[in-house]
Amino acid sequence: MEKPNSENRKIFLSPPDISGRERVLVDEVFDSNFIAPAGEMLTRFENDMCAYTGIKHAVALSSGTAALHLALRIAGIGPGDEVWTSSMTFIGGASPIIYLGAVPVFFDLSPDSWTIDCDLLEENLKEAAHSGKLPKAIVPTDLYGQSCDLDRLVDLSAQFDVPIIADSAEALGAFFKGRHAGKGTHSAILSFNGNKIITTSGGGMLLSDDPKTIEYARKLSTQAREPVVHYEHTEIGYNYRMSNVCAAIGVGQLEQIEEKITKRRAIFERYVEAFSKFQGVGFMPEPKDRRSSRWLTCLTIDPDMQDARLDNILSVCDAAQIEVRPLWKPMHMQPVFANTRFVGSGFCERLFATGLCLPSGSALSGQDQDRVIDIITGALRVSG
């Protein structure tokens, strides 16, 4: 079999970047024998995350999806309740609404930030308040490493008395006016799956400034056991806790978060330099009041400038062993959500039709990024 070299080795979209003290910390866990879902590393990971985000309390969980499930349940979401959320997201940001028998309503994005359109939200909240049909919660997505407009969301939440649960799964290290994504909302979730800016191999976290929310989430995540010596249960919980071993990886990864963001932002800048000279090529905006983590570099190609150019780029990259992906297919376009309501003009549909995510991992070498740039430049020239 041919051995991979720098020419034919696959370049992934956002692979894990294990380059710090992760292994030493995992060894510490093994030495302590606390490899079960309990132990000091979990507390350390939660405390470190609170210190980094400025959100006061946190519980480490098995996934971001689990975190959202718990957040919605704690917010009292049940059968028939409406939950308003961003349409352009990963399904893990929407399926917990269904787990609880609730009804998702999908919202469009603002072209200025690619995060939920707050004007649209406000307009619809006013109408819903008028007809007595307010949603039970709003779950805005901090897309591709960009925080939503926290000022507007927090104001709307207070004005209409609807809790905001920030889906910050993709946005560790994203800030809005100096506040971390999700800060000031009812609760926020993070994901540490394999392609995120930091990973614990798989995992997530629920964060909130409200201690009771996190205390209750901790209980629900460990089968809702009552605090007595025997196994006593008065309600149904889940097996959602993160393991102490995974938490050790998380502690080591989080120590390097700012370096990882610096690298991803530099990767983004190089793509901009290489591709913005092509007419019709655009990039995800970053409003002045935000710092994006640039988790993934997202590029768009004006459909008037090309015929099936996206398909061409995707197939050329595939042949060159470079993982490039279309942007998230909006949830209201998914067969599984065929009968749900969508609110907006279809900006996210246009993004899906014209956008791509490029390899953006913090361990991407200069040489590998050159390879990506060469291949895509060739494809842009051919169809230009």
Ligand X SMILES: Cc1ncc(COP(=O)(O)O)c(C=O)c1O
If binding is defined by CB under 6 A, does position 63 make contact with ligand X?
yes
Quick one: 141 or 213, whose CB is closer to ligand X?
141
Residue range at the interface with ligand X (CB under 6 A); choices 167-175, 237-245, 271-279, 314-322: 167-175
Q: Which stretch binds ligand X (CB under 6 A): 59-67, 256-264, 340-348, 373-381?
A: 59-67
Backbone phi, psi, residue 307, to 5°: -115, 115
C-beta of 281 vs 327, nearer to ligand X: 327
Contacting residues for 219 by C-beta, under 8 A, at least 6 apart = 225, 237
Residue of 14, 85, 87, 89 interacting with ligand X (CB under 6 A): 89
Strand-strand pairing, 341-343 and 103-107 = parallel
Strands 82-86 and 137-139: parallel
Q: What's the closest the beta carbon of residue 193 comes to ligand X, in angstroms?
A: 4
Asked if 149 interacts with ligand X (CB under 6 A), we say no
92 lines the binding site for ligand X (CB under 6 A)? yes
Q: Which stretch binds ligand X (CB under 6 A): 2-10, 34-42, 164-172, 258-266?
A: 164-172
Q: Using the rule CB under 6 A, which residue among 124, 141, 157, 185 binds ligand X?
A: 141
* Stretch of 21-29, 87-95, 115-123, 329-337 contacting ligand X, by CB under 6 A: 87-95
The site map against ligand X for 201-220 (x = CB under 6 A) is: ---x----------------
Give the interface size with ligand X as a residue count (CB under 6 A).
Answer: 14
Tell the residue number behind the tokens 């964060």, with chain if given: 207
Stretch that binds ligand X, among 44-52, 129-137, 166-174, 255-263 (CB under 6 A): 166-174
User: Cβ 365 to ligand X, closest distance in Å?
Assistant: 25
Beta strands 187-191; 165-167: pairing state: parallel
Site string (242-281) toward ligand X, x via CB under 6 A: ----------------------------------------
Between 324 and 331, name the residue whose CB sits nearer to ligand X.
331
Which CB atom, from 162 or from 172, has the smaller least distance to ligand X? 172
Min separation Cβ 79 and ligand X, Å: 22
Neighbours of 65 (CB within 10 A): 23
Report if residue 200 touches ligand X, rule: CB under 6 A: no
Residue pointed to by tokens 């988790």: 295
Q: Tell me the residue number closest to ligand X, measured at CB.
A: 64
Cβ neighbours of residue 338 closer than 8 Å, sequence gap 6 or more: none
Residue in the block written with tokens 């560790």: 172
- Phi, psi for 377 (deg, rounded to 5): -60, -45
Residues 34, 45, 90, 240: which binds ligand X (CB under 6 A)? 90
Could you tell me the smallest distance in angstroms from the CB atom of residue 328 to ligand X?
8
DSSP 233: B
Buried b (16+ CB within 10 A) or exposed e, 3-19: eeeeeeeebbbbbbbbe
Among 20, 37, 64, 163, binds ligand X (CB under 6 A): 64
CA–CA dist 107, 140 (Å, integer)? 9
Cα separation, 111 vs 51, in Å, equals 32
Interaction residues for ligand X, span 286-315 (CB under 6 A)? none
CB of 146: closest distance to ligand X in angstroms? 11
Q: Is 228 left (phi over 0), alpha (psi -120 to 50) or beta?
A: beta
Cα 140 from Cα 84, distance rounded (Å)? 8
Minimum CB–partner distance for residue 311 and ligand X (Å): 24
Q: Does residue 187 touch ligand X according to CB under 6 A?
A: no
How far apart CA 40 and CA 217 sit, in angstroms, is 18
The identity of residue 262, as a single letter, is T
Contact 168, 174 (CB under 8 A): yes
Task: Confirm if 292 and 174 have CB atoms less than 8 A apart.
Answer: yes
- Residue 257 · residue 52 · CB < 8 Å: yes
Q: Which is nearer to ligand X, 70 or 214 (CB)?
A: 70
Query: What are the residues binding ligand X (CB under 6 A)?
Result: 63-65, 89-90, 92-93, 141, 167, 169-170, 191, 193, 204
